[in-house]
Amino acid sequence: MYSPMWEKLELTISSIGQNPTSGVLSLQRRKDLYAVCSKYDVIIIEDEPYWYLQFPSAAVLEASARGMPAPPAAPVHTFAKSSGYPYLDSLVPSFLNVDTDGRVVRLDTFSKTVAPGCRVGWITAQPAIVERLLRITETSTQQPSGFVQSMLAELVMGPQASLDEFKKKSRAEQAAFSGWKMDGWVRWLEGLRGSYERRMNRMSRILEDGRYCVKQGTPNKSSECEWAVISKTQMYSFDWPRGGMFIWIKMHFETHPLFKSVPPQRLAHALWIFFTLKPYLVLVAPGAMFSPTDEIREDEGYKFYRLCFAAAEEPEIERCSQSFANAAQKFWLIKTLDDLDKIDGDEDSYKTRAGMVDLSMDMAC
């Protein structure tokens, strides 16, 4: 897009755990994009709130669950030299690592790694850009909350005191006069990543096991048969997240028994309501709210739901995930319009209410 601030084109990219799809750009893809931006003199705004939440186990576990060959081991990215922290070296590199022109502006935040209410972050860029950003900040927002800044500074660097105050402390007090420092900060990030990775794997495993609606029947119900016909219908598909906080699910409404009888958008709306009913009680974010245009919203947005595994503890993750799969399987057993009307009303009522539904909700369980 065009930005008067730079008086040139800029490309904004969230390349790790992208919201809502949780996609991760590979290093080669970054190099390719950077080469294009360098050729046409485009500034890259790298927005990376989820950069530290990369899940190396996802590809391996996904392949195992689906009976596929194990993917190659993830490379360790050290470039000129190691950071000294295996966890950091295991992460897919930033655009900053390939920036030779000074065209990358990277945005980071404490909101996804310390507390959602922090609303404090930092920008990494070449000095000329940082100087301009500083001037703009001084004449607009000035700065984030001073209290939150002080809290974060003490957490990471330790309590702040003047040299005279520090000298007055005993040697024991001086030795204890420290915050996380770099070692502690990296340990915290690695532990946080591990916690989210466990939740992601648990949710993905349950959703993986519930992707199909399995039905059993016999060729003649009146006869006593020693065999049965098993039908297996795929209701949804998804990729195990490689980063971030979300699972992006595509529903296969074309496999639903009522697909040819009602618009698929109505099926999607009825399913969204069905998830919230007892005993399931799951609220998912509909894909339509992430659609950039009305055309995409109408043609593709209805097919998707976004689930979030960041806000619930692991036992609750299991309940919510199983409820999602159970609700989908029950919904795929609906065969009559009367049963669909009981969920979302008749079609005319659905059309009226669908336009009034507030799609700004996130997932809650």
**pLDDT tens-digit series, residues 285-334:** 999 999 989 999 989 999 999 999 988 888 899 999 999 999 999 999 99
| Residue 124 shares a structural domain with residue 226 | no
Residues of the chain with pLDDT under 50: 1-2, 5-6, 356-365
Among the listed residues 361, 362, 257, 279, the one whose alpha carbon sits nearest the alpha carbon of residue 327: 279
Do 138 and 207 lie in a common domain?
no
283 falls within a domain: yes
Which residue range is the domain that position 345 belongs to?
198-354
Looking up residue 230, the CATH number of its domain turns out to be 3.90.1150.10
pLDDT of residue 358: 39
By the 8 A CB rule, do 303 and 259 touch?
no
How distant is the alpha carbon of residue 176 from its chain centre?
38
> Would strands 43-47 and 8-13 be described as parallel, antiparallel, or unpaired?
parallel
Predicted pLDDT at 360: 34
In the chain, which ranges are continuous DSSP H helix?
Answer: 27-39, 57-65, 86-90, 127-138, 146-157, 163-168, 171-175, 181-209, 264-276, 294-299, 314-331, 337-344, 347-354
Q: Coil, strand, or helix at residue 271?
A: helix
Q: What span, in angstroms and rounded, lies between the C-alpha atoms of 20 and 124?
A: 24
User: Which pTM does this prediction carry?
Assistant: 0.84
Q: Do residue 258 and residue 338 come from a single domain?
A: yes
C-alpha distances in Å from residue 48, one per residue of 19, 45, 112, 225, 316: 11, 9, 10, 59, 28
Same domain? For 208 and 137 the reply is no
**What pLDDT score does 349 carry?**
56
Query: Looking at the 3D structure of the chain, how many domains does it have?
Result: 2
163: in domain: no
Helix pair 264-276, 347-354: axis angle to 10 deg: 80
